Amino acid sequence: MTHHIKNAIKLLFVFSFIVFSSGAEGQDSPGKVKLLYENISVEALLDSLMSNSHFDISYDANALPLDSIVSVEADNEDLIDVLQRLFMSRDIMVQEVSDQIVISKKKTVIEKRFIRLAGTVIGDADNKPVPLVNISVVGEPLGTITNMEGVFEFVIPDNFIGRNVQFSSLGFKAGSLIVPSCDSTIIINLEETTIHLPEIEIKYQDANEVIERFLKNRKDNYWNESMVLSGFFRESIMQDDEYVDVSEAVLEILKYGYDQPYSLERVKFIKGRKRYDVDQVKNVRFRLEGGPFYFSRLDIVRYLDFFNTKGRENVYRYSFKGLDQEYERLVYRIAFRPVDDTGELLYKGELRIDSESAALVSVEFELTKNSLKNSRKYFIKKASGRVKAKPAFARYYIDYRPHSGKWILNKVRGELNVRIIDRRHKINSMFEAVSEMVINDLQNAEGVKFRFSETFKPNYILADEITEFDADFWENYNIISPGEALEKVFKITSYPQK
């Protein structure tokens, strides 16, 4: 087992929780300052203001001239006035939002037109919603998925009018429609499928030989050029079946080629929105650390987790479990589990490998029973020794989709249940955390660099990076449509801060 998958699992396990009283301490709001900076870069100036004062400043790195050299002097002035004066000649907006200073590019009118395709995907046999259906414009990297209620909203540039949109899901025949010339709401019926294959294709396959073919063909099946992936990320936390924390964000991920395993991904936060319901929280604050950071590196193909490659001892054993279909392609189902379940963060699950190209199409996995017992010592942070935290389960799903003769990362989903017990405060709660990411688009990364200062770090908490709520926030980004419960959460426009 490599360290990559161990680190990635932290997105669901590493958290802190704090016992607090009904009163909440508020943040200091920006006030009068005395400043004297000479010949300092804009980036260093903002970092200094955040490090050496109590001010919380959030800024859009793409909008600011971070390398520009400036001099700033102020004597008993409001910090927000100083920053507004500094950026006055540029198309930059400085405002105070919920006791924070937010610096961003002024909004401009979007000239490009989009078609909004919304609706529900249902199974033809029982008329029940089909969750996590892959939706994409055929031949293009643009895509999204349905939520757990089968609902979707797909934002498509108008130059794709007349192109084919495909709907695909495990166990169903692919559906399709033509991109209409105007916004539309539709219902898509998917027909369940049964695999009909020649007898020679159904015969037993040696699992180890299938794995060897995957490793041999990997460089031909995946991108070896560096790419910038655009993605949507959501974290939701429920306490005893009630939503208490929901954060959503648009991300960009700089992913190096699959032939460069030592060049690690970097992820940049673009924008986000959140809801933290203090009224619903029952004395325990459960928070996830570094979700986008770890999700960006949760790529089984790139880091070869669960594969016994050269130089590694045989950690996993494989077995052939039959055939199935994904993306209307025949896939081999290869189960894996540890040779020796020591409890040291090992996993069991199933790999689905394309029978023709030997590309890994998807993988489902979860911590083994012994690993689950020992997991808390690796990942759980807590504020009090009196509090007990017991993980109930941790499971994950990753898949890839075809594009231009290659396979690209498509979606990642993780689920964690943790029982929190604090006898002193009479707390016995089940926390359910779900993190999910969908890659909506990609472009060549030639010449693209992510500054370290603007990248998401492993100790960051997503909700802490989000500073405001905007009713028209998502504009033309593709997202996973919230379920009904989340829609109700996001209808509230006044957001209490942590």
* Average pLDDT for the chain: 81
Three-class SS of residue 138? Answer: coil
Residue type, 42: V
Task: Report the C-alpha gap between 47 and 41 in whole angstroms.
Answer: 10
Contact, 394 vs 9, CB < 8 A?
Answer: yes
Give residue 428's Cα distance to chain centre: 29
Report which DSSP code applies to 3: H
pLDDT in tens, 441-464: 998 888 888 888 889 988 888 888
Confidence grade of residue 24 (pLDDT, cut at 50, 70, 90): very low
For position 115, what pLDDT does the model report?
Answer: 92
Task: Report the C-alpha gap between 350 and 397 in whole angstroms.
Answer: 10
Task: Report the C-alpha gap between 459 and 226 in whole angstroms.
Answer: 25
Report which DSSP code applies to 173: -
Count CA atoms within 13 Å of residue 387 on its CB side.
21
Three-class SS of residue 82? Answer: helix
Q: Which helix H or strand E contains 210, and what residues bound it?
A: helix 207-221
What's the whole-number mean pLDDT along residues 386-397?
85
Sheet architecture: strand order including 114-123: 151-157, 114-123, 184-190
Structure tokens at 145: 């998925």
Report which DSSP code applies to 294: H
Structure tokens at 244: 């208490």
The proportion of the chain whose per-residue pLDDT surpasses 70, expressed as a percent, equals 80
Give residue 335's Cα distance to chain centre: 26
For position 312, what pLDDT does the model report?
Answer: 66
pLDDT for residue 419 is more than 80 = yes
Task: Report the C-alpha gap between 439 and 215 in whole angstroms.
Answer: 24
Contact, 47 vs 91, CB < 8 A?
Answer: no
Contact, 234 vs 248, CB < 8 A?
Answer: yes
> 297: closest CA among 344, 251, 347?
251
For position 395, what pLDDT does the model report?
Answer: 92
DSSP string, 357-415: T--EEEEEEEE-HHHHHHTHHHHB--S-TTEEEEEEEEEEEEEEEEETTEEEEEEEEEE
Count CA atoms within 13 Å of residue 139 on its CB side.
3
Q: Which helix H or strand E contains 231, and what residues bound it?
A: strand 227-239
pLDDT in tens, 394-414: 899 999 998 888 999 999 999
Residue type, 243: Y
Q: How far is CA 443 from CA 243, 301, 439, in A?
A: 35, 19, 12
For position 30, what pLDDT does the model report?
Answer: 46
pLDDT for residue 50 is more than 70 = yes
> Radius of gyration (Cα) for the chain, nearest Å?
24
pLDDT for residue 64 is more than 70 = yes
Q: Which helix H or strand E contains 81, and what residues bound it?
A: helix 79-86
Three-class SS of residue 220? Answer: helix
pLDDT for residue 318 is more than 90 = yes
Q: Which helix H or strand E contains 200, and what residues bound it?
A: helix 199-202
Q: Which residues of 132-154 are buried (b: 16+ CB within 10 A; e: fewer)?
A: bbbbbbeebbbbbbbbebbbbbb
Hunting for tokens 């807590």 — which residue is that? 382
Count CA atoms within 13 Å of residue 375 on its CB side.
28
Hunting for tokens 């709660």 — which residue is that? 429
pLDDT for residue 239 is more than 50 = yes
The proportion of the chain whose per-residue pLDDT surpasses 90, expressed as a percent, equals 33
List the beta bridge partners of residue 164.
178
For position 378, what pLDDT does the model report?
Answer: 65
For position 167, what pLDDT does the model report?
Answer: 94
Contact, 129 vs 167, CB < 8 A?
Answer: no
pLDDT for residue 78 is more than 80 = yes
For position 26, what pLDDT does the model report?
Answer: 37
Task: Report the C-alpha gap between 64 and 85 in whole angstroms.
Answer: 14
Structure tokens at 11: 């997105």
Task: Report the C-alpha gap between 230 and 440 in whole angstroms.
Answer: 6
pLDDT for residue 477 is more than 90 = no
Q: Which residues of 322-335 are buried (b: 16+ CB within 10 A; e: fewer)?
A: ebbbbbebebbbbb
For position 117, what pLDDT does the model report?
Answer: 94
DSSP string, 441-479: EEEE-TT----GGGBPPTT--GGGG-----TTTTTT---
Contact, 282 vs 452, CB < 8 A?
Answer: no
For position 488, what pLDDT does the model report?
Answer: 74
